Structure 1
Amino acid sequence: MARKASRALTSPWWRGVAALAAGALPALAFPAPAWWWFAYVALVPWILLAASAPTPRRAGLDGWIGGVGFMLAVHHWLLPSLHVFTLLIAALLGLLWWPWGLLVRQLLAGRPSPGRAAAALVVLPSVWLFAELVRSWEGLGGPWGLLGSSQWQVEPALRLVSVGGVWLVSLLIVAVNTVWALLIAVPAARTPAAAGMALTAVAVSAVWVGAPRPERDGTARIALVQAGVFDGEGGAERRFDRQEAQTRALAGRDLDLVVWGESSVGFDLAGRPDLADRIAALSRAVGADILVNVDARRSDRPGIFKSSVLVGPKGPTGERYDKMRLVPFGEYVPARALLGWATSVGKAADEDRIRGGSPVVMPLSDGLTAGPLVCFESAFPDMSRHLTREGARLLLAQSSTSTFQNSWAPAQHASLAAIRAAENGRPMAHATLTGVSAVYGPSGERIGRQLGTDERTAEVYEVPLASGITPYVRIGDWAAHAALAVLAAFCAVEGLRAFRRPQRAGVPGPAHTPRESPVRPAR
C-alpha cells in the first residue's frame, strides 16, 4: 500500500489531488464541525507532502494547490453566491502558500540537520502567518478562517489570544504541526522537535499562570432580537413588524440595551419619522436604548449606507456608526468597470455601499459604553482593539448571514466574537437577523445560549463587564511583528549564504601534486 501511494505521488495529477485534499483538512477545525483539536495535526499531511517534493518548483506548487484547497474548504459556502469568483479568489489567495511549500522542502527535505529542524519550528509558522496577514487585507476578503480562530472554545488558547491576539495562536498551531511532522518523518531531528514541544508547553503554561485576567466590574442586561428570514416583496416591512413585536415583549425585563441585527431597518429613519417614532416608543416601553441597523439610501447624503443607529426614548440619539469595511462583491464590486459582470452570474452588489469615515464609541445609560461593528468587521482584530482603547466596555457586532443559512458560515461568524472578546478583555454580543446569535464574556467564555438559524426570538443575557486592558490591547500585534522579523532574518541569512557561495567557488584551492604510484620493492 505504501509503495502504491509513493508511486501515485510521482504523478503530477495525483500529487495535485493529494495537495488539494491535504490543504482542505484544517477546515474541519472550524465550525460547523468544530474539531478544534484536529488543528494541531491537520497540517501534517500537507507538510510531509511538500517536504517530499522532487523539486523546489513542485514544492511551491504543492503549497499553492494546498492553499487553494484550504481557501475553498473554509469558504465553500460562498459558491452559491459568487460562483466562479469563489474559485478565482481561492486560486489567487492560494498563491500565498507557494513560499510556505518552498520553505517546507528547503528545511525538512531529506535528512535535515538539527539546526535546520530547529529553524523550521520558527520559520514555517512565521511564513504561514505572513500568508494570513496578507490575505487579511479587506480588499482580499479579510481575515476570515485564520487558523488561530479555530480555537474559539478552548480556554488555554483564549488566554494566549489575550496576550498576542489570534496571530499568536496561529503560530502555535503551525509550530505544533511542524513538530509532529519532524517526529514522524525525520528521526535525526527528533531531539530538537521534542525540545520544541517541551518549550511550547512551558510557554503556554507560563501564559496560563501569569497573564493578567480581566477584572470583573459589574454586569449589563442586554437583549438580542433575531427576527428570521423575510424574503420577497414587503420583506422589510414584515421584518420590522416582527422585531417590533419581539422587542415589545421584553418590557419589564430591566434591560440596559436592546440590539437588532444587520439591515434590521430597510428605510432611512430621517426619511421615515414614523418608524423612528415606533422605535422610540419601544425604547420607552422596555426602558432601554435600542441599537438598530439601517441599510438604506440616506436622505442627507448620496448613496446607500449600512449604519448602526442608537434610538432612545425621544428618538434617534445622534449616535451613528457607518460601516467602514465593506464585503467585496457582497457590498461593493472591486473595479466595477472591469468586474461589473459579476452581478449577472452571482449575488454581487448591484450598487456599491458607501464607506463610513471613523469608528464610534456610543455612550449608553449608567456609564456603559458600546463599540459597534457591522457584519464581517468582527473578523478584524484591529477594529475591536481600537474601540477598546477608545473606551468601549461592550463590543457589539450586528450581522445577517441570511444568504448562507444552511451552511457553516453563521456558526463560523458567531465564533469570531469569542476571539475578539478574549483579545480585548471585553464582552462581545453577536446579534444577527437570522442566526447564529451569541454573547461571550470578557475571557471569551460563552454567556447564555446561542440562537440557531431556525429560531425567531428575543433573548436576554446577563453580561459580565470588565475593566483594565489585556496585553494584546496594550502592546498590539507583537506576534505578527515577531513573525515578520523572523522571516526578515531568515531571508538575510539565506541571502548572505547565496552571496558567499560564488566567492568560495572562485577561490583557488591549495595546489595538489599528482601522487605517484607506489613502487613495490623487488623480491
Structure 2
Amino acid sequence: MTRPRFAGDRLPLSWSLLLAVLGGVLAVLAFPRFNLWPMAILSVAVLNVSMTGQRARSGALLGFVYGLAFFVPLLQWTGIYVGAFPWLLLAVTEAVYFAAMGAALPALLRLRGGPFWAACLFVLQEAVRGRWPFGGFPWARLAFSQANSPLRWFAVVGGAPLVTFLVALSGAGLAAAVVRGYERRWRPALGGLAIVVLVPLIALLLPAVAVPSPSKPTQGATIAVIQGSTPDRGLEFNARRRQVLDNHVNQTMALADDIDAGKVARPEIVFWPENSSDIDPLQNSDAGTEIQEAANAVGAPILVGAILDGPGPTHIQNVGILWSPQTGPGETYTKRHPVPFAEYIPFRSIAQRVSSKVNLVQNDMVAGGGDGLMTTGPFPFGDVICFEVAYDGLVRSSVKAGAQMLVIQTNNATFGHTAESYQQLAMSQLRAVETQRPVVQVSTVGVSAVIDAKGNIVDRSGALFTPARLVDSISLNSTQTISTRLGVLPEVLISLCAIGAIGYVLITARRRKMIPGPISIADQTGDRSISV
C-alpha cells in the first residue's frame, strides 16, 4: 500500500476543517490570560497542515473557519456590555482577512521555500488588517502573543512585523517537518525542523548583539501610577464621572500622605489613566480645582487623562494634560486614533439601523495630531492612549521624536473582568522591548503596571476594579533601536515578498492555461509531488 502524499492527495476537507478549528483554538491559548506562547507556533503549523494540497476556494474556507475559532473566543470582551451582535460582527469581519489569506496560502506552500512565503503572507494579512478600513484593528497579531517569549527580542530589529514573521516561519517550518516527514522526504523535513530550532536560538543571542548600548549614562527617574478605579462596571461608569475623578484625586492625596510620612519617595511625575476626568477640567472650575489641589499635595506634575468638549457642539477630544503644581494645565496630547464605532460612529444613520447601541456614543471623538511627545515634564516621554498601543507607527513616532519612556493611558472599565486588559498589557510589554524604553500602563480599573526595557513587569496592580498606587524607579533611555530607525521598512519588504509570490503564482497559473495538455507544477516550483 502506498502512503498518501499530502501535496498530491490532500486531506479530506472534513479533516482539514477540524484542523482549522484546532489551529484557531491553539492561537487563543497563546494570548492572555493563558499566555502559552508556544501555542502560536503550533497554531500556525496546524493551519498550514490543513492547507497542504488544498485549492484556493477550500483554502479560503479553512482560513475563515480558523479566523472564527480564533477571534470569537479571543474578542469575547467586546460584547460584555453591548451584546453578542457587535462582538460576533467584529469576529466575523476579522475572520474575513484570514479567508483572504487562506485563499493564497495553499499555493504559496507549494512553492520552493514554502515556509518563507507562508510567513510573509501572515505579515501581509496583519498589515492590511491593521490599516483598513477606518484605520484597521491590529489586535491579536501573532507578535502580541510573544511578550514572554524569547522571540520577543526580534522586535528590537524589526518591530512587531518581524516577530509575527518569525512566529509564522517557525510554525510553517514545523508543518513542513511533519508533512514532508510523513511523506518520507527527509531533506525538506529536516529543513523545516532546522527552522524550528534556529529561530529561538537566534532570538536568545539578540539581547547581546542587537540591543544598542546607551549613548550616554542611563538616567533614573521616580514615577507614580494612580489607579483610582470606577464606581460601576460597564458602560454606565460615565454617568458617575465626578466619582471617578474623586477616586483618582483621593488616591493621589493618599500618595501625598505616604510621601510626607516617608513611606515612599516623592515622584518626579504622576500618571493618571485615560478617562480619569471625564468632566472637562478646562471648562469646569470645580474639576480643575480638585486636580490642582492633588498636584499641589503630591508636589509633582500629573498627567491627567481627560475628556474635553469640542471643537464642535457634538464633538469631544480624548486628551492627556500635563498638570503642573506651579502653573496648572499645560502641554496636551490628543488621541490620534479614536476607535470607530466606540468613540465615534462612521455612517451613523446606517449604523443605527444595525444596532441601537451606537446611540450610547452621543458625541463623536475628534482625532488629534502630532507625534505624542510631551517635553515640558521632568523628562521627555511619549503619551499613547488606550488602543493606540496596537499601532506601530503611533508608538514609534513618539520615540523617534525623543521620548525616553512611554506611558499607555487606558480605561478598561467597559470590558469588565475579561482578558482585554491583560491582552493590552502584553502589547505594552512588547513595545518596551521594541523601543528599549520603560513603559507604564496606567488604567482606571487595572491592569496598571511598570515594565522595564526587557519587557519584564517590575510592578503591577492587583485585582481588577480595585484602587492601586505604584511608586517605582525607571531607567530612561534616549538611544534608538534598529527597529525604530528602520520604521515601517521591514513590514513593507516582507509584505512585498508575499505580494510578489502571489503574483508569481497567478502568472504561472495563467501560463499553464495557455499551454495545451497537462503539465507539472514541478517545472515551476521544483516540487515533484504536485501535478495538474
Q: Same fold (TM over 0.5)?
A: yes
Counterpart of 1:340 in 2: which secondary structure?
Answer: helix
- Output the amino acid matched with 1:406: H
2:211 pairs with 1:209: no
Aligned counterpart, 2:20: 19
Structure 1 segments unaligned to the other structure (5+ residues): 1-5, 508-523
Aligned counterpart, 2:90: 89
Aligned counterpart, 1:515: none
2:170 pairs with 1:176: yes
Q: Aligned equivalents of 1:107 and 1:492: distance in 2?
A: 10
Aligned counterpart, 1:465: 476
Deviation at 1:500, TM superposition (A): 3.6
Q: Aligned equivalents of 2:189 and 2:127: distance in 1?
A: 30
Counterpart of 1:304 in 2: which secondary structure?
Answer: strand
Counterpart of 1:398 in 2: which secondary structure?
Answer: strand
Aligned counterpart, 1:150: 145
- Output the amino acid matched with 2:346: P
After the TM superposition, which residues 106-117 of structure 1 pair with which residues of structure 2 at under 5 Å, given as runs?
106-108=107-109, 116=111
Q: Aligned equivalents of 1:269 and 1:144: distance in 2?
A: 32
1:2-24 CA-partner distances (Å, limit 9, x unpaired): xxxx9xx8576x86565334323
1:316-346 CA-partner distances (Å, limit 9, x unpaired): 3421111111112211122112112355247
1:410-439 CA-partner distances (Å, limit 9, x unpaired): 111122111111111211111010001111
Q: Aligned equivalents of 1:68 and 1:280: distance in 2?
A: 49
After the TM superposition, which residues 83-482 of structure 1 pair with which residues of structure 2 at under 5 Å, given as runs?
83-108=84-109, 116=111, 118-137=112-131, 139=134, 141-154=136-149, 156-187=150-181, 188=185, 189-197=188-196, 199-201=198-200, 203-213=202-212, 215=214, 217-231=218-232, 235-251=240-256, 252=259, 253-298=265-310, 303-345=315-357, 349-366=361-378, 368-482=379-493
Aligned counterpart, 1:57: 57
Q: Count residues with an aligned counterpart.
A: 489
Deviation at 1:307, TM superposition (A): 0.8
Q: Aligned equivalents of 1:378 and 1:393: distance in 2?
A: 16
| Gap change, CA 1:241 and 1:195, over 3 Å in 2 | closer
Aligned counterpart, 1:514: none
- Output the amino acid matched with 1:150: S
- Output the amino acid matched with 2:30: A
| Gap change, CA 1:294 and 1:230, over 3 Å in 2 | same
Mean Cα deviation higher: 64-73 or 337-346: 337-346
Q: Aligned equivalents of 2:162 and 2:389: distance in 1?
A: 18
| Gap change, CA 1:491 and 1:52, over 3 Å in 2 | closer
Aligned counterpart, 1:76: 76
2:508 pairs with 1:488: no
| Gap change, CA 1:169 and 1:285, over 3 Å in 2 | same
| Gap change, CA 1:347 and 1:26, over 3 Å in 2 | farther
Q: CA RMSD in A?
A: 2.7
| Gap change, CA 1:84 and 1:162, over 3 Å in 2 | same
TM-score, normalised via structure 1 length: 0.86
CA contact (8 A) 1:67 1:95 kept: yes
Deviation at 1:308, TM superposition (A): 0.7
- Output the amino acid matched with 2:442: A
| Gap change, CA 1:292 and 1:387, over 3 Å in 2 | same
Q: Aligned equivalents of 1:140 and 1:84: distance in 2?
A: 22
Deviation at 1:400, TM superposition (A): 0.8
- Output the amino acid matched with 1:24: V
Counterpart of 1:250 in 2: which secondary structure?
Answer: helix
- Output the amino acid matched with 1:177: G
Q: Aligned equivalents of 2:74 and 2:219: distance in 1?
A: 38
Counterpart of 2:222 in 1: which secondary structure?
Answer: strand
Counterpart of 2:403 in 1: which secondary structure?
Answer: coil
Counterpart of 2:440 in 1: which secondary structure?
Answer: strand
Larger radius of gyration: 1
CA contact (8 A) 2:156 2:481 kept: yes
Q: Aligned equivalents of 1:74 and 1:461: distance in 2?
A: 32
- Identity over the aligned pairs, expressed in percent? 25
| Gap change, CA 1:489 and 1:226, over 3 Å in 2 | same
1:253-297 CA-partner distances (Å, limit 9, x unpaired): 311111111111121122112322222222222111001111242
CA contact (8 A) 1:437 1:452 kept: no
Q: Aligned equivalents of 1:270 and 1:365: distance in 2?
A: 19
1:87-124 CA-partner distances (Å, limit 9, x unpaired): 2232222222234323443355xxx6xxx3x5211111
Q: Aligned equivalents of 1:299 and 1:185: distance in 2?
A: 59
CA contact (8 A) 1:159 1:208 kept: yes
Deviation at 1:52, TM superposition (A): 5.4
| Gap change, CA 1:228 and 1:60, over 3 Å in 2 | same
Deviation at 1:444, TM superposition (A): 2.0
CA contact (8 A) 1:304 1:354 kept: yes
